[in-house]
């Protein structure tokens, strides 16, 4: 089944903006475009979007500033930033401020389509999970009301062993998609969680850059772009799981090849 969704593109370069609109429309998506951050935010206030693609460097309101405003008012709206000038500092700051992903120009049409499909499929799954949780809570409340004469607490459904993936002090909750380190919940961006999940499943083996991108983000890319994308997410993860991110002992780089997780 072809995924659909309403995508907003924010970019000050008119030719690129028009090309992206055409590519995504041909893939079956509904697309709206904005020429700058201010116009994009205006559209978001009046229209429900499922995904935002936005240039990081724009005149006027910068992409990071727009991202912060979007994330504050619409925390569940995925935002993918792209730029022609890769910058680790900007990428990490973007991820910390709620960006879902970071792509390099020139954008490849197939990569753009596959990334949109992957994000929207993930959103669809998460929305369905939230619906199920709400339904369960409503049924439990109704059951408690009907059983008001019984003082015994309601028994919650048993959780399958496949909910948690444990590697040393790291525990990945696959249902809530959150990370627990030393029994403390740690917030990490959704895409970074996917990278950690891939490394945890392969641990302690080395996972090459392109495999990491393919399994975590759902699309193929060349070795250079894969290495850059992976580097940003690993940097983010090291801030969350390492005692000293400058001297990592858990997320290990195998130079020129990829990364491995050593946590047992």
Of residues 139 and 14, the one with the higher pLDDT is 14
Predicted confidence (pLDDT) at residue 249 exceeds the cutoff of 90: yes
- For residues 208 and 257, is the Cβ–Cβ distance under 8 A? yes
Name the most confidently modeled range: 17-26, 158-167, 171-180.
17-26
**Has residue 159 got a pLDDT over 50?**
no
The pTM of this model reads 0.56
Q: State how far the alpha carbon of 241 is from the alpha carbons of 182, 185, 203, 216, in Å.
A: 9, 11, 15, 18
| pLDDT at residue 131, rounded to an integer | 66
Let me know: does 195 contact 255? Beta carbons within 8 Å: no
Q: Tokens 């730029």, residue?
A: 83
Is there a cis peptide before residue 204, judged by omega within 30 degrees of 0?
yes
Cβ atoms within 10 Å of 253's Cβ, excluding its own = 15
What was the pLDDT predicted at 41? 94
Decide yes or no: CATH 1.10.600.10 for domain 160-261: no
Is 175:81 a contact under the CB 8 Å cutoff? no
| Average pLDDT along the chain | 83
Same fold, 6-121 and 160-261: no
Is residue 250 exposed (0-12), middle (13-18) or buried (19+ Cβ within 10 Å)?
buried
**What is the rounded CA–CA span in Å between residue 87 and residue 242?**
22
pLDDT tens-digit series, residues 191-229: 888 899 999 999 999 999 999 988 888 777 888 888 888
The mean pLDDT value for 4-14 works out to 91
* Tens-place pLDDT, residues 176-187: 788 998 888 887
pLDDT of residue 188: 81
The first and second tokens of residue 179, run together, are 């990370």
Listed by start position, the domains of the chain span 6-121, 160-261
The CATH code for residues 6-121 is: 3.40.50.2300
d(C-alpha 117, C-alpha 31), whole Å = 14
Write down the residue that tokens 């001297």 correspond to: 247
- If residue 101 lies in a helix (H) or strand (E), which one and from where to where? strand 101-104
């Amino acid at each position: 089944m072809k995924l659909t969704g309403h995508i907003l593109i924010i970019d000050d370069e008119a030719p690129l903006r028009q090309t992206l609109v055409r590519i995504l429309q041909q893939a079956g998506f509904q697309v709206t475009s904005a020429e700058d951050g201010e116009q994009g935010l205006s559209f978001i206030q009046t229209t429900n979007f499922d995904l935002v693609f936005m240039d990081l460097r724009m005149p006027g309101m910068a992409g990071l500033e727009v991202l912060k405003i979007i994330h504050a008012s619409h925390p569940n709206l995925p935002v993918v930033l792209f730029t022609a000038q890769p910058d680790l500092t900007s990428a990490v700051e973007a991820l910390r401020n709620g960006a879902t992903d970071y792509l390099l120009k020139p954008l490849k049409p197939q990569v753009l389509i596959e990334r949109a499909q992957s994000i929207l499929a993930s959103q669809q799954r998460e929305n369905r999970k939230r619906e199920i949780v709400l339904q369960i809570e409503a049924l439990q409340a109704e059951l408690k009301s009907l059983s008001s004469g019984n003082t015994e607490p309601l028994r919650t459904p048993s959780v399958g062993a496949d909910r948690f993936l444990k590697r040393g002090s790291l525990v990945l909750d696959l249902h809530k998609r959150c990370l627990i380190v030393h029994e403390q919940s740690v917030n990490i961006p959704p895409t970074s969680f996917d990278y950690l999940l891939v490394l945890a499943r392969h641990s302690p083996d080395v996972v090459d850059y392109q495999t990491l991108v393919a399994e975590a983000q759902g699309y193929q890319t060349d070795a250079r772009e894969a290495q850059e994308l992976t580097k940003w997410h690993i940097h983010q993860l090291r801030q969350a799981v390492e005692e000293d991110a400058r001297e990592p002992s858990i997320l290990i780089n195998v130079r020129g090849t990829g990364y491995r997780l050593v946590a047992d």
